[in-house]
Amino acid sequence: MRKPVIAGNWKMYKLLGEAVETALALKPLVANTNHCEVIIAPVFTALKMVCDRLEGSNIKVAAQDCAAEIKHGAFTGEVCADMIKDVGCSHIIIGHSERREFYGETDRTVNLKTKACLHYGLTAIVCIGEMLPDREVGNAEKVVKIQLLGALDGLTVSDMERIIIAYEPVWAIGTGKTAMPEQAQEMHSSIRQVLTETQGKNIAEAVRILYGGSVKPDNVKDLMNQPDIDGALVGGASLDAQIFAQIINYK
Ligand code: PGA
């Protein structure tokens, strides 16, 4: 059985005080939630304090990115995965489409960052997803497969235990256009098929595949009812504790 994961990606929103306030507001709302893992991903500057204030709760904290480098060094502006672990995070979101689109991330950098994350014992939430033109010409599955294989290149069986895949069709992110549950299921099933072919059936059956892109309280249930959708990566609707808690407690 795959335990669902509901993760909130706060992107570049919330000053420190706001991040702590939202995290603390969320805490009691999910205190009795055990049907899924709950993760929030604030900006770097809020990670330490949010981790401290959530200690002992059932909310885990993720960073939104990390350096591709494993060793500390002269890399101005970068944050190494062990520094993220050091402040109390357990997960890192890697290869979000906004990083690919605006900051030049490639399948290769996503692969290196995934390896850096795993090297330090953290769980990687690896994002993949096609752009609208890919889907329009019928290339969506092919594009997603290339991203998936690129991200996972060279990973071992034990590495795969700390991989969560987030399928986020770029045309659905922040647009209010969610993929139809059946449409998402089709892609999730295709992703699991690629995992079966490349990693074996046991791993493919165990890896959680999250859906992301305009997930809201009113569509989460239909998405979660799909057999290969194991959770959600939520952007906009995770910024408000009440709304995010409704998504988390979708059951
Ligand atoms: P959205 O963002 O829920 O606002 O569409 C999802 C994401 O970017 O992870």
Give tens-digit pLDDT for 182-229. Answer: 999 999 999 999 999 999 999 999 999 999 999 999 999 999 999 999
8 lines ligand 1 (CB under 6 A): no
**Residue 124's beta-bridge partner residues?**
92, 163
What is the three-class DSSP state of 88?
coil
Annotated active-site residue 168? The verdict is yes
233 lines ligand 1 (CB under 6 A): yes
Question: For residue 1, what pLDDT band results from cuts at 50, 70 and 90?
Answer: confident
- Residue of 105, 130, 168, 188 marked active site: 168
Q: Residues of the chain with pLDDT > 90: what percent?
A: 96
The answer to pTM > 0.95 is yes
- Going by CA atoms, what residue is nearest to atom 7 of ligand 1? 235
3-state SS of the chain: helix, strand, coil percent to 5?
Answer: 45, 15, 40
93 lines ligand 1 (CB under 6 A): no
Look at residue 70 in the predicted model and tell me its pLDDT. 98
Distance separating alpha carbons of residues 207 and 124, to the nearest angstrom? 12
Neighbours of 99 (CB within 10 A): 18
Pocket test for ligand 1, best of 93, 132, 170, 214 (most atoms within 8 A of CB): 214
Question: For residue 176, what pLDDT band results from cuts at 50, 70 and 90?
Answer: confident
**Residue 5's beta-bridge partner residues?**
37, 231
Pocket test for ligand 1, best of 5, 10, 98, 233 (most atoms within 8 A of CB): 233
- Which pair of tokens denotes residue 44? 């770097």
Distance separating alpha carbons of residues 166 and 108, to the nearest angstrom? 17
- Cα(175) to centroid(ligand 1), Å: 9
Distance separating alpha carbons of residues 191 and 212, to the nearest angstrom? 14
- Going by CA atoms, what residue is nearest to atom 6 of ligand 1? 235
Q: Is the pLDDT of residue 75 over 90?
A: yes
178 lines ligand 1 (CB under 6 A): no
169 lines ligand 1 (CB under 6 A): no
Alpha helices (H) in the chain, listed in sequence order: 16-29, 44-53, 81-86, 97-102, 107-119, 132-136, 140-152, 157-160, 181-199, 201-206, 220-224, 241-248
Annotated active-site residue 101? The verdict is no
User: Which domains, ranges and CATH numbers included, belong to the chain?
Assistant: 5-248 (3.20.20.70)
